[in-house]
Amino acid sequence: MTVSQAAKAAGTQLVGDPPNNSCYYVKPQNEPKNLLFMVTKGRISRVDVRQNTQITTLKGAKIGDTEAQIKSLYPGQIKVTPHKYVQGGHYLTFIPKNRANQNYRVVFETDGKRVTQFRSGKLPEVEFVEGCS
């Protein structure tokens, strides 16, 4: 959806970087904190959760969970790859089984033990390690 559609659905203003045609971020004006929306081609393509242990996935995964907890919530659907910037850390990528959701992922970043942040969205944006950079 567009930023204005998302703001209306959420009942809050979304503020942030000036809009452009390639990639930028917006966030809720007030709450919740540390929740960012990536906008590409005029539409929200990904949601980043940082430093907020209150926000969970539908299965209850959140920042602070262990790698084992994530794997147990999504049995057989987690692909583990090395973190690009955190020595010993990992990306735990949830890959949906449902064909209708094959273009979407949830990526949990870890320090090798616990989830430090996570993001959800469509391919390829959800896999952009540096965000809009």
**99 residue type, one letter:** R
Residue 57 parent element (H or E): none
pLDDT in tens, 115-126: 999 999 999 999
Query: Above pLDDT 90, what percent of the chain?
Result: 92
Q: How far apart are CA 101 and CA 41, in angstroms?
A: 20
Q: What average pLDDT does the structure give for the chain?
A: 95
- Please give, one letter per residue, the 3-state secondary structure of 73-121: HCCCCEEEEECCCCCCCEEEEECCCCHHHCCEEEEEEECCCEEEEEEEE
pLDDT (mean) for 38-57: 95
Confidence of residue 129 (pLDDT cuts 50, 70, 90): very high
- Looking at residue 126, what DSSP letter applies? G
Q: Are 83 and 11 in contact (CB under 8 A)?
A: no
pTM of this structure? 0.95
pLDDT (mean) for 32-58: 95
